[in-house]
Amino acid sequence: MQELFYVLCVVLAVGIVLTIMAVRTGAILAWLEKALTIGSTALILFTMCFVTLEIVLRHWFNSPIQGHLELSSLFVPVIVFAAVSYTQSQNAHVGMTLIVDNLPAGVKNKVEISTLFLTILTCAILAYFSFKFTYGEWEIDNVTETPPYWLTWKSAVFIPIGYSLLAMRCLLQMVHRIAPDYYPEHDIILADELLAPEGQNDKTPA
């Protein structure tokens, strides 16, 4: 319980700072999200080529790549958590919105704010405990079970990074819904808006 209290205190302090610097924080976060998403996409392509190469070498040349399965598994947290915050910025996560979408505009906005607030707390707690896990992996130099014994912390570190960035993105989205004039969220360009006619990109929350 003491750890949770400290986490909540840190969340409160960081939240105040990020809210005060919302516009600048949003621009930096948007740039970071795009860079990590590009890296995540490149890693997906690399993993596909890597797995294909392993299959070819194994079945045609009887020369499998050592540790290919473990390495491919270590790529998964990197791929997922490097892009999770960008996905949130695009409102692209899978969600059940049947009830929320049919609520009155004011009620819907309050529900969205409450949901974002709970998401911030959840992600902050997960970021803290996943960081503790990653630190433990680093401290003991934990490796995969088979040669060439890949270090696991290099993959695990993307989990607290991803949760931290997701919490920051949700905080900025909450600030935008509470005070759209204070933080208009101009740093975010939705993918479908790139093809929208000029003047049809109104993102003010209902």
Residue 112 lies in a domain: yes
Measured distance CA(201)–CA(157) in Å, rounded: 36
Other CB atoms closer than 10 Å to residue 197's CB: what's the count? 6
Residue 150 lies in a domain: yes
| Averaged pLDDT, 137-145 | 94
Q: Which helix (H) or strand (E) holds 91?
A: none
% of the chain with per-residue pLDDT over 70? 90
pTM: 0.86
Q: Is 116 buried (19+), middle (13-18) or exposed (0-12) by CB count in 10 A?
A: buried
As a whole number, the mean pLDDT across the chain is: 89
Tokens of 115: 């949901």
Q: Collapsing DSSP states into helix, strand and coil, what is residue 143?
A: strand
Residue 202 lies in a domain: no
Count of domains observed in the chain: 1
Range of the domain at 7: 2-186
pLDDT of 92: 83
